[in-house]
Amino acid sequence: MDNLKKLLHESNYTVIFTGAGMSTESNLPDFRSASIGLWNKFDPSKLATIDAMKNNREEFREFYTMRMKAIQNTKPHIGHHILATWEKNGLIKSIITQNVDGFHQQAGNKKVVELHGTLRHCHCHLCGKIYCNERFINNETKCKCGGFIRPSVVLFGENLPEEALEMAEKETKKSDLFIVLGSSLQVSPANYFPSIAKRNGARLVIVNMEPTPLDDQADIVIHHRKIGDVLKELNQRN
Ligand code: APR
């Protein structure tokens, strides 16, 4: 940890990369943890794909309604607030996140790249018009144009938002320290960014409860510790 604290304070351009493990301490489940992972209980191919949205619409709507309500009933934890303070103090420059809960922005971070969209609002699948989640939760899913109002998350098989990809690549290549917090790094193209940072000369740090496929590329790996505790320890003055 002393080595990581030193890297953090010596770095000129630190970028944070977060996954669902960043929000489990806010009581939101992640996807692949053995104990709480959503994909251990639900089949993503039947719920989180364009095909599911078209041909399994009732279960699709129930699944995303459950996730929208879960986000409404919880909030960022101390780890999110520490990252917001670090951005204010210039210690970190940006966050690239796979998460759709909006907790980084809610905690106060300004420069946040959402690779997988957001569960904070919906949009019409046909014309792109933005709608609030209440329309979806109340099953009022028909847009004025006739299209289907769906959550603004990236579904499996959909392309990631071009602007987010470009911004993520730009931030990754500017980083001299790239810190992964709470991701199994199993989903592409999001999991390319830690390797791009490393190849581009940045130091790579992975903080994750369980091992990841990129651990051997990392300069520092911290397993079996909660992200909240790691960030609190790093945030101590001495
Ligand atoms: N502290 C540290 N690590 C944690 C904590 C915690 N408090 N809680 C969970 N983790 C770790 C788990 O061990 C797991 O390896 O976070 C990791 C989360 O991995 P996933 O559940 O696979 O989530 P993520 O990597 O964000 O998934 C990527 O997959 O299903 C898609 O779109 C979805 O954005 C998601 C993408």
Q: Note the pLDDT tens digit of each residue in 31-47.
A: 999 999 999 999 999 99
Domains of the chain and any CATH numbers? 1-27+76-116+160-238 (3.40.50.1220), 29-73+117-153 (3.30.1600.10)
DSSP 154: P
Pocket residues: Cβ below 6 A from ligand 1: 19-21, 24-25, 30-33, 37, 98, 116, 182-184, 186-187, 208-210, 226-227
Atom 8 (ligand 1) nearest CA:
21
Q: Note the pLDDT tens digit of each residue in 111-167.
A: 999 999 999 999 999 999 999 999 999 999 999 999 999 999 999 999 999 999 999
State the pLDDT at residue 37: 96
Whether residue 59 is predicted with pLDDT greater than 80 in this model: the reply is: yes
| E strands, 76-128, in order | 94-97, 112-114, 117-124
Which ligand 1 atom is at minimum distance from the Cα of 115?
34
State the pLDDT at residue 178: 98
> How, if at all, do strands 112-114 and 94-97 pair?
parallel
Active site members: 116
229: Cα within 13 Å, side-chain hemisphere: 8
Q: Note the pLDDT tens digit of each residue in 88-100.
A: 999 999 999 999 9
Q: To test ligand 1's pocket by mutation, which of 23, 28, 31 has the most ligand atoms within 8 angstroms of CB?
A: 31
* Interacting residues of 75 by C-beta distance below 8 A, sequence separation 6+: 26, 103, 106
Please compute the mean of the pLDDT values over residues 197-218 and round it to a whole number: 98
What's phi and psi for 146, nearest 5 deg? Answer: 100, -10
Centre of ligand 1 from the C-alpha of residue 137, in Å: 26
Whether residue 22 is predicted with pLDDT greater than 90 in this model: the reply is: yes
Long-range contacts of 53-56 (CB under 8 A, 24+ apart): 53/125, 53/148, 53/150, 53/155
State the pLDDT at residue 12: 98
Centre of ligand 1 from the C-alpha of residue 61, in Å: 23
pTM: 0.98
User: Measured between alpha carbons, how far is residue 71 from residues 19, 76, 104, 129, 137 in Å?
Assistant: 15, 10, 13, 22, 13
State the pLDDT at residue 238: 55
Centre of ligand 1 from the C-alpha of residue 151, in Å: 20
Neighbours of 52 (CB within 10 A): 20
Q: Note the pLDDT tens digit of each residue in 162-190.
A: 999 999 999 999 999 999 999 999 999 99
